[in-house]
Each structure stands twice: as C-alpha cells, then as structure tokens.
Structure 1
Amino acid sequence: MIEILTNRLMIIPCSLDIAKSLVFHRKELDKRSPIEFPFGWPSSFVKGFLPYYIECLETKEKANDCGLWLIILYEEKKIIGDILLLGKPSKEGEVELCYHVEDKSVDETIAYEAVDAFIDWLTYQKSVKKVVMECDVQQDLSIRLFDKLGMVCTKKDGRFLKWEIQKKDLE
C-alpha cells in the first residue's frame, strides 16, 4: 500500500473495506478502528463520491487513477481530512484534485503539508504534468493555500476560481 509521509501526517488511499464501512457500517467502523474518524467526516461531496469509488475498486480499476486519500494526523491516529483525485490524468498529463480538512482547530499549515506532499508525490508519477484545483472566491483559506503552493489562478467562472501548477514549475 502506498503511504505518503510527512513530519506530522500519513496520507493513504482509502481501502475498499474502509469505503464500504463508511457507507454501510459506520457505527461499527467507529467502534473497531484504531484510527479515529471525526463525526462530520466524510463531507457530503465525499459521501456522494463513495459509491463510484467502491465500484472502481471492486472492478479492479487502478486505485491511483481515481480515488479518495485519507489525511491522518499520525501521532493522534485521527483522520483530519481527505484528498480526492478526480479521475485519471488527461492525455496532456492534467489531473484535478480537491481537498477537505475536517478539524477546524488544526492549524492551516496541516492543509499545506498534506496537499504539498500529495502534489509532490503526483508529479513524480510519469503521467502527471499539471495539477488543477478549484475553489469559491470566498474561500480565503483555500486561496491562501493555493498561492502558498505556487499555484496560479488561471480562470474565474462566476464564483469559482481555477488554479493550476505545472510539473516544470515544481522542478
């Protein structure tokens, strides 16, 4: 299993067992898991994604091509958020991500640490040359995060901003 490690975090792909437990057996998962799952997690967006993700895993699609990754605060053994890889890289090597950090008491450097490590890992993958993320114009924390990551805002569509970073920018 792939593990992306930082000083404070472990980022791992969500297994089929955990994905199914989140949908069908949440109470049992909360009781038995050595890792704490926050009450409000996953977000409604991730809940909507889970059936598709489960289907992909059951049909043996490559989990790395599309997936849910868990952000775990390692010392506390607690899930604090997730990163969604929204599909396979395009022919041009572009992939879209979104992230969510659940625990508002966690300082914003955690989100930076998680997303930076994940982008780093992705760009070492041969087929990923550009990472794209979106946010609402009022999501100040995301805007600061994307700016700190070195991403460039390339498009405004109504209330949404599109940000990207290319592999050559990271080398």
Structure 2
Amino acid sequence: MIEIRTERLRMIPLSTDHLRLLTNDQNQLEINLSLQKSKSNLSQELKKAMEVRFSKALLDEQNYIWYTNWIMVSKNMNEIIGGIMLKGTPNDEGEVVIGYYTHPEHQGYGYMTEAIHGMKDWLLNQTNVRYVIADTEKDNIASHRVLEKTGAELYQETGELFLWRYA
C-alpha cells in the first residue's frame, strides 16, 4: 500500500471501502486500520465532500488514490488528525487539485504545513504532474498561511476563492 511519511505523520490513501467507513462508521475504520479512536468526526460539510470523493473513486477504482481522501495519522498518537483530498488524475496541463482539513483540536501545531510539504513533494514526483493546485475561500487566513509557508504561489482569484499553485 502507498503511504507518504513525514517526520510526525503518515498519510494513507483510503480505499473505497475505507472511504465509505470514514463517512459512515469512523470508529470501524479506526479499528480496521489499527488506529486509536479520534477525538473528532467529520463535519457534515466534510462528509458531503467525502461522498463526492467516494463516487469519483468508484468510477475509477484502479486510480482511486487520485480521487480519495488521504488520512493524516499522527505517528505519536496513532490517531487521525485530518486529511488531504486529491480531486482527480492530472489534467492535460499536468495539474492536480488538492483540498485539506485538520480536526480542530489538532490545529495550530504545524501538522498541515508538514502534510502539504509531503504531499506536494510526492505529487510533483509523479508522472504527468507539473502543478499542484489548492483553492481557498478568501477569508480562510489560516489556510493562506499554510500555503504561503509551503511555497505556493497565489496565481488566480475568483469571486469567492483564491487559487494557489506549486510547480
């Protein structure tokens, strides 16, 4: 199984079965993966995002890692502390879009900065990936800081979003 490791984290791409459990029965997922019970469960908004990830991963199960949520597991606590979602295989320009979240009790410790470094480095070493893209809501200052610290360039703006890119 593919896994990205950083100093404090393991990032594990969830199979479709595991992705379904994350949404419907996180405790069972944690048991299946031999993890400690997390203090947080997904918000309704994140559950909806996971349902989208699940439906996309089902359409192309051979390439599920490009459509799924990669859980971030603290090596020290052996607990899910957040995740990074990939939103599809590289497009014709070599762009891959990511989304991410950290459970509230784990925010402010640099986990997402560490996770983004590991994920973007892994992605930029994959065939056909030239850019890693992240979009953020304009008022999400904490996310902007993470992207700035990890070397992303703000390259586009829409009505609601900033688009950031790693090359």
Q: Work out whether the TM-score is over 0.5.
A: yes
CA distance in 2, matches of 1:119, 1:97: 9
Q: 2:65 — aligned with what?
A: 64
How many angstroms does 1:39 deviate by? Answer: 4.9
Alignment of 1:20-59 (within 5 A): 20-26=20-26, 28-29=28-29, 34-55=34-55, 56-57=57-58
Indicate if the aligned counterparts of 1:16 and 1:58 stay in contact, CA closer than 8 A.
no
CA distance in 1, matches of 2:40, 2:90: 30
Q: 1:129 — aligned with what?
A: 130
Q: 1:6 — aligned with what?
A: 6
CA distance in 2, matches of 1:2, 1:64: 9
Answering whether residue 8 of structure 2 is matched by residue 16 of structure 1, we say no
Deviates more, 1:53-62 or 1:75-84: 53-62
TM-score, normalised by the number of residues in structure 1: 0.84
Identity %: 26
**Number of residue pairs aligned between Structure 1 and Structure 2:** 166
Q: Secondary structure at the match of 2:64?
A: coil
TM-score, normalised by the number of residues in structure 2: 0.86
Aligned-CA RMSD value: 2.3
Distance verdict in 2 for CA 1:143–1:59, change over 3 Å: closer
Gapped regions of structure 1 (runs ≥ 5): 167-171
1:101-157 deviations in whole A, cap 9, x for unaligned?
Answer: 113344342111001100000000011100111112221111111111111111222
How many angstroms does 1:58 deviate by? Answer: 7.3
Q: 1:107 — aligned with what?
A: 108
List 4+ stretches of structure 1 deviating above 6 A: none
